[in-house]
Structure 1
Amino acid sequence: MNNYRELHIWKKGMKLVEAVYFLSKGLPDEEKFGLTSQIKRCSVSIPSNIAEGAGRNSKKEFAHFLNIANGSTTELETQLILTVNLKFLSETEINDALALCKEIKNMNFALQKKLR
């Protein structure tokens, strides 16, 4: 489990972080310490928890950190939708990031199932 860099889910998580950081450039300056900061932290949490779980000593612990990563993925989806609702970004702008979120969640559930 220790070689997290080979996990496809971790690689997708890293791509999602890059996408979120790119999108955050389009958010208003007054959101720098609010929504912008939150979506960045949330996105970073996804591959970070996958890596941390992979570095643990048991499948049970790995599954626990995958659960946390899944929660962060769902939280990020909500925040991205909020950027559209607040008219900071358009649906078109966030579609790729939302698609990555969905893909990561599907991969996460499959990996958790495999760990059982």
Structure 2
Amino acid sequence: MGDFKSLIVWQKSVSLVTEIYHLTEKYPKHEIFGLTSQIRRASVSIPSNISEGHPRRSSNDYIQFLKIARGSLAELETQFLISKNLNFISEEQYQDFDTKFIEIA
């Protein structure tokens, strides 16, 4: 089955988490326990569920973890739209991340 670290989707989602942490450092400080925290948790959930499900013996178990990762990605897409609407990120940043979300999905 190989190591989960060799999966391109896992590698891209880890890179996404890193970018998101850097981006959300610039969010308003009053959002640290709100949107910033939600975005960070949703982003971390994506590669975490991929790696947790990968060594499962059952394909159905693995698929369930991939569905959870996909759900976290949808949550993240929503949070980024809210961030754009609140002017925490620019339209250009939103589009850039949306492209990455589509690629990971």
The bucket for the TM-score relative to the shorter chain is: over 0.9
Q: What stretches of structure 1 of length at least 5 have no aligned partner?
A: 106-116
Residue 31 (structure 1) aligns with: 31
TM normalised by structure 2 equals: 0.94
- The separation in 2 between residues aligned to 1:6 and 1:90, in whole angstroms, is 33
Residue 68 (structure 2) aligns with: 68
Task: State the secondary structure of the residue aligned to 1:88.
Answer: coil
**Structure 1 consecutive aligned stretches of length 4 or more whose deviation exceeds 3 Å:** none
Residue 94 (structure 1) aligns with: 94
Residue 52 (structure 2) aligns with: 52
Are the aligned partners of 1:20 and 1:97 in contact in 2 as well (CA < 8 Å)?
no
* Alignment RMSD (CA, Å): 1.1
Task: State the secondary structure of the residue aligned to 2:89.
Answer: coil
Q: What stretches of structure 2 of length at least 5 have no aligned partner?
A: none
Using CA pairs under 8 Å that are at least 6 residues apart, name the structure with larger relative contact order, 1 or 2: 1
> How far 1:96 moved relative to its partner?
2.2
TM normalised by structure 1 equals: 0.86
> Identity across aligned pairs (percent)?
47
Amino acid at match of 2:77: E
- The separation in 2 between residues aligned to 1:8 and 1:39, in whole angstroms, is 22
